[in-house]
Copies of this chain bind each other. A is one copy, B any other.
Amino acid sequence: MSQAYVHGHLPREHKRLHDQAGALVDLLHADTAYPRGSTVLEAGCGVGAQTVTLARRSPEARFTSIDVSAASLAQARERAGAAGLANVEFVQADIFALPFALESFDHVFVCFVLEHLDRPAEALVQLKGLLRPGGTMTVIEGDHGSAHFHPDSPAAHAAIRCQVALQAAAGGNALVGRQVYPLMVQAGLDAVRVSPRMVYVDASRPDLVEGFTRGTFTAMIEGVREPALAAGLIEPSSFEAGVQALHRITEPDGVFCYTFFKGVGTKRPA
């Protein structure tokens, strides 16, 4: 997490992450629960959007949630406090310089983090070192290349590619979701099993039209307008056309599809 965070750390971004967490909780997290007394490292907790869900779903597990950003951690602490969580400790730390003993956690949880790293496999190796043999690692990442929609629009794809290019320029990878399996295998995890979690949105699911298509995905693309134009990635009129096309898919005949990938692997006992 040593490079710039391409999404920024603005209040609007926090709202986006919060909406996203609300709409996607069941899809992403329904099958994650940790047993009583187990210790879980949440690596890259950001503003705590996933932390609240995680800690609520496993109230008798103890979480250590780290992030490199003090500002994000302050938000995460506030959010956890407001939720009345007593089973989370927040620690400011870099994934590549972790202040924990080897094999000191029963489980590791990594969500929306690899997309920001230029050495994702190395990060997983570091985190695996903190895991007790027999413990699990869970990795969840999105993939902007999975986005497809109706009406289809080259302009919308061009605007999306700006976000992908900016994230790549910052050392990240907005297409990392499809790589969760090979990255976990490369890091030496055992029995890796990846499952896709597609967010499918049509007019019969108005909460997702608002909360995901418009409030999460389109808002994220709109959020890179200034850096995309500043970097000369696209003409202003082309970017606007792309954003308009993304709003068009929130109309009654529109459809939007986006896929997250969730992988779970085990650290082989010695």
Determine if A186 and B253 form an interchain contact, defined as CB atoms under 8 angstroms apart. yes
Pair B145/A196 contact, Cβ less than 8 Å:
no
Complexed CA–CA distance, A150 and B186 (Å): 14
Tell me which of B152, B178, B202, B203 contacts A257 (CB under 8 A).
Answer: B178
Stoichiometry (number of copies):
2
- Closest CB-CB distance, A236 to chain B, in whole Å? 26
A146 close to chain B: CB less than 8 A:
yes
What CA separation (Å) do A182 and B195 show in the bound complex? 27
Q: Using a CB-CB cutoff of 8 Å, which residues 176-204 of chain A contact chain B? A: 178-179, 181-182, 185-186, 192-196, 198, 200, 202-204
In the bound complex, do residue A253 and residue B182 qualify as a contact, i.e. CB atoms below 8 Å apart? yes
Q: A181-B203, A202-B181 are in contact. Are A146 and B148 (CB under 8 A)?
A: yes
With A150-B179, A255-B182 in contact, do A193 and B204 touch (Cβ < 8 Å)?
Answer: yes
CB <8 Å contact, A178 and B255: yes
Chain B CB within 8 A of A6 CB? no
Instruction: Kindly list chain B residues whose C-beta atoms are within 8 Å of the C-beta of A181.
Output: 202-204, 255
Contact, CB under 8 Å: B200 / A194: yes
Chain B residues with Cβ under 8 A from A195's Cβ? 200
Bound Cα distance from A67 to B178, whole angstroms: 38
A143 within 8 A of B: yes
Q: How far is the CB of A62 from chain B (nearest CB, A)?
A: 31
Cα-based distance from A152 to B178 in the complex (angstroms) = 9
The residues of B that contact A125 with a CB separation of less than 8 Å are none
Show 10 A/B contacts (Cβ-Cβ < 8 Å), sorted by A: A145-B148, A146-B146, A152-B175, A179-B255, A181-B202, A181-B204, A182-B202, A182-B254, A193-B204, A195-B200
